[in-house]
Structure 1
Amino acid sequence: MLLALLLCYGGFTALCLSMDRHHTELLGRKPSVRRRQGMRIHGWLLLALSLWAAVSATGWGLGLVQWFAVLMLSGLLLVLLMPYHPRLMLSLAGVSLLASPVFAFAQC
């Protein structure tokens, strides 16, 4: 479930950074069209991978419920960190994307 949480948080952060307003606020410049599309695609891909991680760990019955819980938790964390600690939000996204392959290999 930790792998699904890390992937969800990274996916939501990528989707957040695909918006002009948030990208400008957090990184100081407007994203190009190509970068915006890439962030959007990678965000949705990470969310799909998090669904796969949750379902493969516990099956469809419990995995889907856990995935929705992880979606809510990572979304809440992102919403609470964005206005007060935006740099921490970006740092956590980087750490989550770096740590997720470690947890993926640990599950195998």
Structure 2
Amino acid sequence: MLLSLLLCYGGFTALCLSMDRHHAELLGGKPTAHRRRLLKLGGWLLLVLSLWAAVSSSGWGLGLVEWCAVLMLSALLLVLLMPYRPRLALSMAAVSLLVSPVAAFAQY
């Protein structure tokens, strides 16, 4: 479940950064069309990988329920952090993507 949470948070942050306003606020300047497409693709890929991680660890029945809970928790965390601590939200996304391989090896 930890791996799913880390991947979901990274995916939602990538999708957030694909928007002009958030990209300008966090990274300075608007994203190019190519960068926007890469961020969207990366975000959706991370969300799909989080689904795979949840289902592979708990099966389809409980894995989908866990994945929905992790989706809501990570989105809520990002929504609460963006207005007040946007740099912390970006730092947490970077840490989550760095820690996710360790969580993957710990899971299997």
- Please classify the TM superposition score into its range, dividing by the shorter chain length: over 0.9
Structure 1 unmatched runs, 5+: none
**1:33-78 CA distance string (max 9 Å, x none):** 0000000000000000000000000000000000000000000000
Distance 2:27 2:35 in 1: 13
User: Given the alignment of the two structures, is residue 64 of structure 1 paired with residue 64 of structure 2, yes or no?
Assistant: yes
Aligned to 1:75: 75
**1:4-43 CA distance string (max 9 Å, x none):** 0000000000000001111011111110100000000000
Aligned to 1:12: 12
Runs of 4+ in 1 over 3 A off after TM superposition: none
Aligned to 2:86: 86
TM-score (norm 2): 0.99
Distance 1:103 1:74 in 2: 16
CA RMSD of aligned residues (A): 0.4
TM-score (norm 1): 0.99
2:12 corresponds to which letter in structure 1? Answer: F
Aligned residues: 108
